[in-house]
């Protein structure tokens, strides 16, 4: 037919299946944290970390993470601490950090030097109504005692009462007797100071006062804040701008204080297990911190939570949050401490799968198998009959030994967001020529777009090219990605890209030959 000629065109079908992003995974402390710590705490050219506080934070962070970096700098750090311990001009805060550096590194400190420091710190405690002027001396004295020196705080009960006088009815503390506002951060350091006073006392502190403080801790946890994913954190209610601390520093102060006080008081603190677990999720959810200060508070807080007398949090994490039906991937779950230590004997059950619209896909209870060698609970995803898409999977952790329930916090049910992928099949693909958009299609030919199929069509410049097809998932359901593109490549190598309209039932595009 005159005017008709073959139009050599290569067809390439592109699918763009866009899913909503998955929330960041909560994973135990890993080598990524260690690498971040080394980078954040890089010493200056002279080998120092700055002031005493920064030096201690670097040393302590490296020590907790099991890094050897701090040992090579111990000589300079010990010398720095010794100079401040011997200096009559050192503040109580300087002495506090210098003692902690010496304790962490095992620095050799002359007993006479420590005798002088003890006398100075005790003198400050006897003549102050400031929380910080109690906190630093008490912490310094406790640090010296922990290094093997005989340190006893006379009138420990009086000091305990003086500290308690700074408390408020909501479980928060004031910085001094003249402060009108209470502070959550101050509550943490007050509890840590009280724990130190008890440890330094030569006789038991009034049990009734200890009971009052235990009740204060309960009130303090009534002010904790939370996110919808079970994460809990502390923040300041309202204090002067110069005293405000952010959620990381504030939460770290409370964790440090509560776990320290729990270690010296008889019985357990009446804190819900899910709130302790939520605090662990908060610190792990930070991921890799952006500052040395945040890194120290994250790692030290997690070290206190790793082994404490309230509840030890157990973290459920997925080895991967993306699974392939085509590759027949397994769902692999780990339950560990915040530093990745093995959990006690327990079971993990998958109890529910929810779609992206929160519709229940399955509520069949399936126990995951346990791989002892790799400490992983696993389950094949194929029997779940879930197709490609985004899902929320609900797991339930149950401890095998009932008495462990007073020791560990599992959170009971844990929800994780996952994405299931798979090879999408192009079905019922047809190509042909028509005279107009709605007209009958001529010379219809079937295409197998999964293969290198070649067809030959002939058309004039007034006619149109028609292409239609259907997309199906590995389970045979129709599939509609966010967008489908059709790329036409002419024999001259010129390419054109088109968006293909359609529904889940059929995609169809009609293009003028020109």
Within 10 Å of residue 474's Cβ, how many Cβ atoms?
Answer: 19
306: tokens are 């790793």
**Domain extent listing, the chain:** 31-311, 315-421, 425-512
* pLDDT grade for 25, boundaries at 50, 70 and 90: low
- Give the mean model confidence (pLDDT) for residues 467-480: 92
Give the pTM: 0.86
| CB-CB contact of 331 with 360 (8 Å) | no
66: tokens are 């099991």
Q: What is the per-residue pLDDT for 438?
A: 61
Reading phi first (left if > 0) and then psi (alpha if -120 to 50, else beta), residue 66 is in: left
Classify domain 315-421 by CATH architecture.
Answer: Sandwich (2.60)
Rounded-to-integer distance, Cα 487 and Cα 467, Å: 12
Written as one string, the DSSP assignment of 35-102 is HHHHHHT---TTS--SSHHHHHHHHHHHHHTT-SHHHHTHHHHHHHHHHHHH-TT--HHHHHHHHHHH
Q: Which residue has the tokens 């042909």?
A: 432
Helix/strand/coil for 170: coil
Rounded-to-integer distance, Cα 86 and Cα 431, Å: 89
* pLDDT grade for 21, boundaries at 50, 70 and 90: very low
| CB-CB contact of 202 with 270 (8 Å) | no
Written as one string, the DSSP assignment of 339-386 is T-PBP-SEEEEEEEEEETTS-EEE---EEPEEETTTTEEEEESGGGT-
Pairing of strands 312-313, 408-409: parallel
Q: What is the per-residue pLDDT for 406?
A: 95
Report how far Cα 329 is from the mean position of its chain's Cα atoms: 25
Interval 70-104: pLDDT, tens: 777 788 999 999 999 999 999 999 999 999 999 99
Interval 136-149: pLDDT, tens: 999 999 999 999 99
Interval 413-456: pLDDT, tens: 999 999 999 999 988 999 999 887 666 777 788 988 778 888 88
- Give the mean model confidence (pLDDT) for residues 248-259: 98
Rounded-to-integer distance, Cα 344 and Cα 339, Å: 14
Is 315-421 in the same CATH topology as 31-311? no
277: tokens are 């677990």
Written as one string, the DSSP assignment of 184-232 is HHHHHHHHHHHHHHHHH-SS---HHHHHHHHHHHHHHHTT-EE-TTS-E
Q: What is the per-residue pLDDT for 205?
A: 94
Assigned CATH for 31-311: 1.50.10.10
Interval 212-244: pLDDT, tens: 999 999 999 999 999 988 899 999 876 565 667
């Amino acid at each position: 037919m005159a005017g008709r000629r073959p139009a050599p065109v290569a067809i390439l079908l592109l699918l763009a299946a866009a899913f909503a992003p998955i929330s960041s995974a909560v994973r135990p402390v890993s080598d990524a944290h260690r690498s971040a710590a080394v980078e954040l705490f890089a010493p200056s050219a002279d080998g120092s970390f700055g002031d005493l506080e920064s030096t201690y934070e670097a040393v302590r962070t490296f020590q907790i993470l099991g890094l050897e970096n701090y040992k090579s700098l111990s000589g300079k750090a010990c010398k720095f601490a010794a100079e401040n311990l011997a200096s009559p001009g050192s503040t109580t805060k300087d002495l506090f950090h210098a003692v902690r550096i010496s304790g962490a590194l095992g620095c050799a400190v002359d007993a006479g030097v420590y005798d002088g420091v003890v006398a100075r710190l005790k003198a400050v405690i006897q003549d102050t109504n400031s929380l910080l002027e109690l906190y630093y001396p008490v912490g310094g004295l406790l640090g010296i005692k922990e290094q093997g020196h005989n340190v006893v705080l006379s009138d420990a009960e009086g000091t305990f009462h003086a500290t308690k006088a700074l408390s408020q009815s909501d479980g928060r503390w004031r910085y001094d007797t003249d402060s009108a506002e209470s502070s959550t951060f101050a509550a943490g350091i007050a509890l840590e100071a009280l724990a130190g006073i008890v440890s330094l006392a030569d006789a038991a502190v009034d049990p009734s006062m200890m009971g009052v403080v235990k009740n204060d801790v309960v009130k303090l946890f009534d002010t904790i804040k939370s996110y919808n994913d079970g994460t809990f954190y502390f923040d300041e209610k309202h204090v002067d701008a110069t005293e405000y601390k952010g959620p990381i520093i504030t939460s770290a102060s409370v964790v440090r204080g509560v776990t320290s006080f729990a270690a010296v008081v008889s019985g357990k603190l009446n804190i819900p297990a899910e709130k302790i677990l939520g605090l662990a999720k908060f610190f792990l959810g930070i991921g890799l911190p952006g500052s040395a200060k945040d890194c120290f508070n994250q790692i030290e807080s997690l070290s206190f939570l790793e082994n404490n007398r309230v509840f030890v949090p157990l973290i459920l994490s997925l080895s991967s949050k993306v699974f392939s039906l085509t590759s027949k991937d397994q769902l692999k779950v780990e339950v560990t401490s915040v530093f990745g230590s093995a959990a006690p004997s327990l079971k993990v059950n998958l109890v529910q799968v929810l779609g992206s619209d929160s519709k229940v896909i399955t509520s069949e209870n399936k126990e995951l198998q346990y791989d002892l060698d790799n400490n992983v609970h696993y389950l094949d995803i194929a029997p779940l009959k879930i197709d490609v898409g985004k899902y929320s999977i609900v797991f339930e952790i149950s401890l095998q030994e009932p008495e462990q329930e007073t020791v560990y916090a599992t959170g009971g049910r844990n929800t994780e967001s996952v994405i299931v992928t798979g090879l999408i099949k192009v079905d019922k693909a047809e190509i042909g020529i028509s005279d107009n958009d709605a007209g009958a299609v001529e010379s219809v030919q079937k295409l197998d777009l999964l293969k290198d199929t070649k067809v030959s069509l002939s058309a004039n410049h007034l006619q149109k090219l028609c292409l239609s097809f259907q997309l199906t998932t590995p389970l045979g359901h129709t599939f509609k990605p966010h967008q489908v593109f059709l790329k036409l490549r002419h024999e001259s190598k010129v390419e054109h890209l088109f968006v293909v309209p359609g529904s889940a039932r059929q995609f169809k595009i009609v293009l003028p030959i020109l």
